[in-house]
Copies of this chain bind each other. A is one copy, B any other.
Amino acid sequence: VRRYQAPDEYPFFPDVLQQPLLSPVAYPHLLHANDVNVNPRLHREYIDRILPTACGQSAEQPENYGSAATADVQCLQALSRRVHFGKFVAEVKFRAEPERFARLIRAHDTAGIDAAITDAAVEKKVLERLRLKAKTYGTDPSLPAGGKIDVEAVVAMYENIVIPLTKLVEVDYLMQRLVGTEWEHREL
């Protein structure tokens, strides 16, 4: 259904995509050309770090393999979309201060770019909002016990994996941001 034609969706297995049944949508052109795609890394982190924290033994029963795989696809695609939003964030930051970023990019100063895009206060607010959402949606309100998930594990997953990967996307995107633009060679 043309999911991977949307500018905020990235396939994990691009080699086996089929032709969409729906005709293309004319999306607005917001990003600079780039080939940033951290899905292979996200896929590995999901298996090595996210799943072991999130899942107990119950998912190990063969009856669950099918539905677990279906849920995995939804989780991975949602995480991928969230992480690749970093491109739009980076584009906005670049447009706000093009000269500052052009200097850092031309100096290959990835640490400097990482520092320039980091806003600790915003990250803290994101984690607080996430904690509140995990608490709200991860609760069965009709049960006295309530909580169904480990809220702090969700927050830690965001803090240790989702936010760093998002920033990696931002940095990688910015490293390609000057190609073919006036900023590539302009004197700074």
Contact = CB atoms under 8 A, between A and B. Distances in A.
Interface residues on A, range: 20 to 34
Interface stretch (A90-98, A131-139, A165-173): A131-139
A6 B67 CA distance: 11
A108 interface: no
15 contacts: A1-B65, A1-B67, A1-B69, A2-B66, A3-B66, A3-B67, A6-B66, A22-B66, A25-B62, A129-B142, A132-B141, A133-B141, A133-B142, A136-B139, A137-B137
Interface of A: 1-3, 6, 20, 22, 25, 27, 62-63, 65-67, 69-70, 129, 132-133, 135-137, 139-142
